[in-house]
A and B are shown apart, each in its own frame.
Chain A
Amino acid sequence: MDLLDNYKKAWTNQPEETSKLSAIEIYKLAHSKSSSIVKWIFIIGILEFVILNSLYFFVDMETVMEEYRKIGLENFIYYSNILAYIIIFYFLVKFYVNYQRISIVDSTNTLMNKILKTRKTVKNYVIFNLAYVAILMMVATTAKINANYTDLNTTQIFMVVGATLLATLLFLGVLWLFYQLLYGFLLKKLKRNYKELAKLNSTN
């Protein structure tokens, strides 16, 4: 008899849990709040959409538009904003569809794949937003330099470009760290298990 067979016998004969739950206790548990990572990914994802889009409320758009008008970017801002909103809407729909597709009845592999896909939509959305802001900043800086070209000397131009770059990099760095912490905390275990399954499927 195989060594494991003995242990398997012990497993099969193991007594049932001493503290078995009654139907009432099960009812209470079933109606309590879930703390699953899927729920958290959904909440955080929605928060990201809301927070990033509500930032505009804190900025006095009139003054900003006046600034853009001065450097001749009015049309560019107008059309790029329309495009940005179409893309944001696309991400929102994709995020919701991906979230809806998550089903715990799927196989472990498929389930983890779908969870990671939903998370990736939010990630792409954030990357898009950052890229959009970065492009806007670059265009605005270039336009500003162009508009004031005669008044600025070379050192001043370099300082403006340098300061813009530094501020952008610092902002991105802090944000990246925050994301590493937030999603690292949430998805560390899932990613480890997903890798383990992927390894299984590729090496054998």
Chain B
Amino acid sequence: MQKDLEAKFLKDFEKNQNIAHKICRIYTSNKSAHNDLFQEITIQVWKNYPKFRGDSKFSTWMYRVALNTAISLYRKSTRRVKTQDISNLAYKIKATDYDDTEEQQLKALYKAIHTLNDIEKALIFLYLEDKPYKEISETLGISSVNARVKMNRTKEKLKNILNP
């Protein structure tokens, strides 16, 4: 029984690990912090996996567990971003098969997101991942209206940083 569950977890997590990697890129600014947060997310997903009932998609469930780990359970603060750390982002992103302009845009986007606070980061991340407002408000525990208002403000803020 336990072995079955473990095998299922490993399969699900391996397939969806990019969700955790993206969250780590947003909430941390160097490789060791990235790995540290990734480890904690893996532990939390595994620990709570028996409670995953399968009435939603695994990925939807994992978004919530991973974001909650980054916002509430993970202690190390990464408010200040050092420029040399940001340039390190290159090591995480494959340069091949990737449009040059888009690569620049992606780097600028990550850099801009790093200046936001933890809650704004979560909002923008869920927007970029194309999540509906209902899911965003349920994940964060705020009303749909509030999610919408804050999202618009955060998007404006991000635009100003990207295009001052």
Asked whether, in the complex, the Cβ of B17 is within 8 Å of the Cβ of A20, the reply is yes
Closest to B93 in A: A15
Number of interface residues of B (CB under 8 A): 68
CB distance from A183 to the nearest CB of B (A): 12
- Of A3, A30, A104, A193, which contacts B65 at CB under 8 A? A104
Known A-B contacts A3-B163, A110-B141, A193-B72; A36 and B14 likewise in contact (beta carbons under 8 Å): no
The answer to the question of B142 belonging to the interface, with a C-beta cut-off of 8 Å to chain A, is: yes
Known A-B contacts A15-B93, A37-B73; A193 and B43 likewise in contact (beta carbons under 8 Å): no
Q: Is the interface of A mostly helix, strand, loop or mixed?
A: helix
CA distance A16 to B96 in the complex (A): 12
Tell me whether A21 and B141 are in contact (CB under 8 A). no
- How far is B94's CA from A162's CA once the two chains are assembled, in angstroms? 71
Q: Which residues of B contact A17 (CB under 8 A)?
A: 17-18, 21, 92
B-binding segment of A5-13, A72-80, A130-138, A172-180: A5-13
Residue among A30, A104, A197 making CB contact with B69, cutoff 8 Å: A104
Our pick among A26, A106, A201 for the contact of B14 (Cβ within 8 Å) is A26
Contact A109 B141 (CB under 8 A): yes
Find chain A residues with CB under 8 A from B45 CB.
Answer: 30
Residues of B within 8 A of A37 (CB): 72-75
**B6–A112 CB distance below 8 A:** no
Residue of A11, A15, A35 contacting most chain B CB atoms (<10 Å): A11
Q: Does residue B138 face the partner (Cβ distance < 8 Å to A)?
A: yes
Give every chain B residue within 8 A of A59 (Cβ-Cβ).
Answer: none
Instruction: Flag B17-54 by CB within 8 Å of A: 1 or 0 each.
Output: 11001000000000000001011101111111001000
A150 at the interface (CB under 8 A from B): no
- Considering the chains assembled together, what is the distance between the CA atoms of A26 and B15 in angstroms? 11
Bound together, the chains give a CA A15 to CA B89 distance in angstroms of 13
Docked Cα-Cα span, A36 to B134, in Å, equals: 28
Main secondary structure on B side of the interface with A: helix
Q: Does A63 contact B (CB under 8 A)?
A: no
Q: How far is the CA of A192 from the CA of B75 in the complex (A)?
A: 12
Provide a sorted-by-A list of 27 A–B residue pairs whose CB atoms are within 8 angstroms.
A4-B159, A7-B108, A9-B102, A11-B106, A15-B98, A16-B21, A17-B17, A22-B14, A23-B14, A26-B42, A27-B10, A30-B43, A32-B43, A34-B43, A104-B64, A104-B65, A104-B69, A106-B68, A106-B141, A107-B141, A108-B72, A109-B142, A111-B72, A189-B75, A200-B150, A201-B142, A204-B146
Flag whether B58 is at the interface (Cβ < 8 A).
Answer: no
Which of chain A's residues have a CB closer than 8 A to the CB of B43?
A: 29-30, 32-34, 36
Q: In the complex, which residues of chain A have a beta carbon less than 8 angstroms from the beta carbon of B75?
A: 35-37, 40, 186, 189
Known: A13-B98, A26-B42, A104-B64. 10 other contacts (CB 8 A): A4-B158, A10-B106, A34-B40, A36-B75, A104-B68, A105-B64, A111-B68, A111-B141, A188-B77, A204-B149
Chain A residues at the B interface, C-beta cutoff of 8 Å: 3-4, 6-23, 26-27, 29-38, 40, 103-112, 115, 186, 188-190, 192-193, 196-197, 200-201, 204
B118 touches A193 (CB 8 A): yes
With contacts A29-B39, A109-B141, A204-B150 taken as known, whether A21 is within 8 angstroms of B17 at the C-beta atoms is yes
